[in-house]
Amino acid sequence: MANLRQAPSWLLATSGRDALERLLAGAHRSGVTVVPQGGGYRFELVHDDHPRASLTLALTPLLTGSPAAPTAELTLTQEQGPRQLLDRVSALIALEPELIPSRLDPATRALTPDRSPSALNHLRPDSRWQDLFVAHLKQLIESYQWWEPRAWESLSDDGVHELRVTVRRLRALLKQFAAVLPTERVTPLRRRLRWLGDALGAARDLDIQLTRCPADNTALEPFRLSLAADRRATQLRLLQTLASADARVLPIELHDLAAATRSTEHEITVAAAAPQNVETLIARVQVLGHRALGRTSWPRAKDLHQLRLAAKRMRYGLETVAPILGKPLIHLADEARLLQERLGEVRDAESTAQHLRAWRETTLISRATDQAVRRQIDKERARAQKVGKRLRSDWPSFLAKSRARILC
């Protein structure tokens, strides 16, 4: 096997060869080898985090009658993923898109060049409550279908993260509009979404921990390698989850739910249903916030976790009705987002510290690595304490704003 830089010049024009070399050499967690084959060469892509990846660029010289300007016939085969990298290769060497099989079929690819969510401008305060649900459900189905191939390919962290957010929003939407939804359809959907969210969450949590482990600290390299191995195993389980029948039929079942909900006879309007709905979400955060942040001692992890989940549901719920009911709700949704993000920072720090402690206690490591792990645990604890203090100081302001909304 030869290095890509040793490939003969006739394979591609100089500019194209150099561009392809830079593209493949810089691919996210991937490597390329070049194998002589039938008078030509085969480029093989290997992707560390995608065990099923298989890409081959086979180039064979063609006789053109001019030794100074030889050309090459190029064929590409792909068993599975990663599509994003293939798109870049395709654009570079001007292949026809239909020659590249992928998770997205050619028709879907042609119809979704860019992600632009469905508009909600047809809805008004006197629109039916379930029509608001259907409009948001359609947006989330589009989001799911956009991000699912990207989570499956794992070329970047965005795919897993954004699909996880979409699944969380779907779960929150089903809960927020439960009163007007057919229970026999919603119950199995909620179970399935929770199952999928757990698989995405496991992969995302490891992504976060990898980013929090300083790359320039060589003493922590054994821990990073352990995290990377865990991440690859978790990614494989996620691939199996996304390839399962339960995951594949999810968009279809969500479309069926939208059709079934649209035909229901509930006549309650957005203006009538939203105020009580919003107040319930706010009150839940107030109760859990008092329990978690109203203590003199450091809050329990369980209480902070419950508050974070409630803050997410509040934010998502407010963002659902805010485009129709006005700016005050948009501002309060921003406050809920800040609360959620800070709670997330505490959770990430504490989760990383916990993972470091568990790894240190179960792994034989050098003294230098042990000391580095101890220092990193202390840093994560300090981060959690710092953000926790800020949460406590900001809580009275958030509480006053949320109470003002309920009293409106």
At 114 the pLDDT is 52
Q: What is the mean predicted confidence (pLDDT) over 264-284?
A: 88
The predicted pLDDT at position 77 comes to 44
Name which of 70-74, 109-113, 241-245, 249-253 the model is least confident about: 70-74
| Residue 119 identity | A
State percent of the chain over pLDDT 90: 38
Burial of 358 per CB tally in 10 Å (0-12, 13-18, 19+): exposed
- Rounded to the nearest 10 degrees, the angle between the axes of helix 250-262 and helix 129-153 is 170
Structurally, at CATH architecture level, domain 126-266 sits in: Alpha solenoid (1.40)
What is this structure's pTM?
0.72
At 172-201, the pLDDT tens digits run 999 999 998 988 999 999 999 999 999 999
Residue with tokens 């409009």: 135
pLDDT at 154 over 60: no
Q: Residue 164's closest CA among 189, 144, 146, 178?
A: 144
Coil, helix or strand for 49?
coil
Q: Is 18 helix (H, G, I), strand (E, B) or coil?
A: helix
Q: Residue 114 is encoded by which pair of tokens? A: 């860019």
Give residue 328's pLDDT band: very low, low, confident or very high (50, 70, 90): confident
Mean pLDDT of the chain: 75
Q: Residue 44's pLDDT band (boundaries 50, 70, 90)?
A: low
Identity of residue 376: Q
Q: Which strands form 55-62's sheet, in the order they lie side by side?
A: 30-37, 40-47, 55-62, 71-78
Residue 117's pLDDT is 61
CB 98 within 8 A of CB 106: yes
Residue 342 has pLDDT above 50, yes or no: yes
What pLDDT shows up at residue 38?
Answer: 53
Whole-angstrom Cα distance, residue 288 to residue 285? Answer: 5
- Mean pLDDT in residue range 115-127: 74
